[in-house]
Copies of this chain bind each other. A is one copy, B any other.
Amino acid sequence: MSPKITTELLKQLRQVMKNPKYVQEPVQAYIVPSGDAHQSEYIAPCDCRRAFISGFDGSAGTAIVTEQHAAMWTDGRYFLQAAHQMDNNWTLMKMGLKDTPTQEDWLVSVLPEGSKVGVDPFIIPADQWKRMSKALRSAGHDLVPVKENLIDTIWTDCPQRPCKPLITLDLSYTGVSWRDKIVALRSKMAERKVMWFVVTALDEVAWLFNLRGSDVEYNPVFFAYAVIGMNTIRLFIDGDRMMDPPVREHLQLDSTLEPEFKIQVMPYGSILSELQAVGAGLSPKEKVWLSDKASYALTEAIPKAYRYLTPYTPICIAKAVKNAAETEGMRRAHIKDAVALCELFNWLEKEVPKGTVTEIIAADKAEEFRSQQKDFVELSFATISSTGPNGAIIHYKPVPETNRTLSVNEIYLLDSGAQYKDGTTDVTRTMHFGTPSAYEKECFTYVLKGHIAVSAAIFPNGTKGHLLDSFARSALWDCGLDYLHGTGHGVGSFLNVHEGPCGISYKTFADEPLEAGMIVSDEPGYYEDGSFGIRIENVVLVIPAETKYNFKNRGSLTFEPLTLVPIQTKMIDVNLLTEKECNWVNEYHQKCREVVGAELERQGRHEALRWLLRETEPLARVQ
């Protein structure tokens, strides 16, 4: 990996930073955030502006360029990668280290008095703008919106914004029609006395209209905004994809409809002016509901007194609670996914000893097996296929430079998932194709104990996921071990593999309470730098739990694993498990046998079925 040479690019950027064609007054600093105009986690190539200007293409990072300096803030996952990918023009700001200045503090320390700091108001979320603007103002500087994105002005070969065809999802997948979703949304709006709701997150637009796209890799979304009034629906979307007859029919664009369900289709680029028009026409007490993470540009379109901002939108919360059709779809998707992984692991077991399987080959093979399954669309994220020391790099993705060959001497960690038309999967298994050491088994077993502690946890209705995080760590903590990531994230239903508003992490506090129908991952791990990584991840569904008593009539919840892939028993030190934990493993494997076994049988995959049966032999504890 050689760094990107950015001398010329930075020179060009610094020129446009004072070019009156683009800026009213010269800006002494320009901020290039990671995101797109929808605050997406995964972004399209045309939105990879920070990677373009710096060379650093990790998923998180903010670049700031001043007349003299260029600096990049990123977190511990990416220190090494950023250092490799950036040339000497760049200073790496290691977030989380004690001596690293915040972006605001750094700007204040390097800028001449009374400086202007520019940023694209469409990219920066309103809450971030507010924080940064306040800090700069108190030091005598100004944060200013620069309408034209300055990176785009120098990015001559910038790829086009994708505009791929849409997929319509019928009731058998979604359970609820888009009309009923609009009705429910409007009732939430009425509850809060809000007249308009602005949908800015791509997965929220997709969910609301029961449409999917492929504008962004791994995420079945499409570039669009929506503005929902009490009597109007405006969908801002480009391209002739709205000319597609199934889409027109799905959205009833050509039908005679009650006016409140008539969708007005408008150009993607007209959202700002339309929203400004909405803002200008508001009567007193007419509020507009936006996410507090919506872009500064869209938030500013609504006069402050009329804004109603919340961290989680009603769509985000409704989307998280899967209905029966979605849950059934997720179950089907996970069974198919398990079939693919049984095939893969059976194949790996035979091939790894030959010394011909690399991390990339294994990842490709996983994709091949998945693509054989019905309704497969694409992967749900870049496969983490890592062996030995690469396993300790939590967000590793094999590339030719780092590609290791799997062997019978090293632990192999595979974290992968797919988008099926009926659901999204995300599963991690850690395997040994030879004989694991006692220490490796010990660590694996602590991770497994943590996985079970969460999966089998019973907790009252109304409990937030972050309160369960320590359960996943307790066995590791007892021995002085830990892992430096959260335990779980929300998972979409044929949507983003990471979604809010719930999760299981010590880092969040503002998560919404878990409720029956929510789907999260359960993925504790243990990583030893330079030697191996262990992670055991299932996607689990929140379900009601039966308990002996029922305090204050609150009811209890627990989890049902949707992922049904064997956990390698060879890696388990059975003597470290309690009887309850041992039973959990055996019952889990029994379910894998029954459910996935039946599907393997149905698909005529007899060798993989034999592998499954071998791998799900019950554990026996020495009493």
Residues of A near any B CB (own CB < 8 A) = 138, 305, 457-460, 467-471, 473-474, 476-482, 506, 509, 545, 547-552, 554, 556, 578
Across the interface, name the chain B residue whose C-beta is closest to A556: B480
Closest chain B CB from A480 CB (angstroms): 3
- State which of B305, B478, B551 has its C-beta within 8 Å of the C-beta of A482: B551
A–B complex contacts, Cβ < 8 Å, 13 sampled: A458-B480, A459-B470, A459-B473, A460-B482, A467-B469, A470-B470, A476-B551, A477-B556, A479-B548, A480-B545, A480-B548, A482-B554, A578-B578
Residues of B with C-beta under 8 A to A457: 474, 477
> In the complex the two chains form, is A467's CB within 8 Å of B506's CB?
yes
Number of copies: 2
* Chain B residue nearest in CB terms to A527: B551
Residue among A457, A551, A552 with max Cβ neighbours from chain B (10 Å): A551
- In the assembled complex, the CB of A153 is this many whole angstroms from the nearest CB of chain B, namely 37
Q: Name the distance in Å between A178's Cβ and chain B's nearest Cβ.
A: 30
What residues on B are CB-neighbors of A459 within 8 Å? 470, 473, 477
Expressed in whole angstroms, the minimum distance between the Cβ of A286 and any Cβ of chain B is 15
Closest chain-B Cβ to A559's Cβ sits at a distance in Å of: 13
Closest to A476 in B: B551
Q: Residue A547 contacts which of B467, B478, B545, B578 (CB distance < 8 angstroms)?
A: B478
Knowing A482-B460, A509-B509, A556-B480, the reply to whether A471 touches B469 (Cβ < 8 A) is no
Q: Which residue of B lies closest to A546 (CB)?
A: B480
Inside 8 A of A467's CB, which chain B residues have their CB? Answer: 469-470, 506
Q: Which residue of B lies closest to A529 (CB)?
A: B552
Tell me, rounded to whole Å, the shortest Cβ–Cβ distance linking A477 to chain B. 5
* B305 and A551 form a contact (CB under 8 A): no
Query: For residue A480, which residues in chain B have a CB less than 8 angstroms away from its CB?
Result: 458, 460, 545, 547-551, 556
A551 touches B460 (CB 8 A): no
A545 to B459, CA, bound (A): 29
A582 nearest CB across to chain B (Å) = 14
Residue in B477, B478, B549 whose CB lies within 8 Å of A479: B549
A457-B474, A474-B471 given as contacts; is B547 within 8 A of A479 (CB)?
Answer: yes
Q: What's the minimum C-beta distance from A41 to chain B, rounded to whole angstroms?
A: 23
CA distance in complex: A99, B459 (Å)? 26
With A457-B474, A480-B549, A482-B551 known, 10 other A-B pairs at CB within 8 A are A138-B305, A459-B477, A468-B470, A470-B470, A471-B474, A480-B545, A480-B547, A480-B548, A481-B549, A482-B552
Q: Lowest 9 A-B CB distances belong to which pairs? A: A480-B547, A509-B509, A480-B549, A479-B548, A480-B550, A467-B470, A481-B551, A482-B551, A459-B477
Which residues of B sit under 8 angstroms from A482, Cβ to Cβ? 460, 551-552, 554
Taking the closest CB of chain B, its distance from the CB of A222, in whole angstroms, is 36
Q: Whose C-beta in chain B lies nearest to the C-beta of A481?
A: B551
Q: How far is the CA of A476 from the CA of B138 in the complex (A)?
A: 50
Most chain-B Cβ atoms within 10 A of its Cβ — which of A305, A470, A476?
Answer: A470
- Which residue of the partner chain B has the closest CB to A510? B509
Nearest-Cβ distance from residue A470 to partner chain B, whole angstroms: 5
Bound complex: CA of A214 vs CA of B519, how far in Å?
A: 55
- For A470, the closest partner residue in chain B by CB is B467
Q: Tell me the nearest residue of chain B to A304, going by C-beta.
A: B138
Q: Which of A480, A554, A556 has the most CB of B within 10 A?
A: A480
In the complex, what residues of B have CB within 8 A of residue A554's CB? 482
Residues of B within 8 A of A479 (CB): 547-549
Q: Given the complex of chains A and B, what is the CA–CA distance between A509 and B511 in angstroms?
A: 12
CB distance from A452 to the nearest CB of B (A): 13
Contacts of A471 in B (CB 8 A): 470, 474
Q: Which of chain B's residues has its CB closest to A550's CB?
A: B480
Residues of B with C-beta under 8 A to A552: 482
A458 near B477 (CB under 8 angstroms)?
yes
Residues of B within 8 A of A578 (CB): 578
A458 and B473 CA atoms in complex are apart in Å by 10
Interchain CA distance A548-B476 in the complex, whole Å: 10
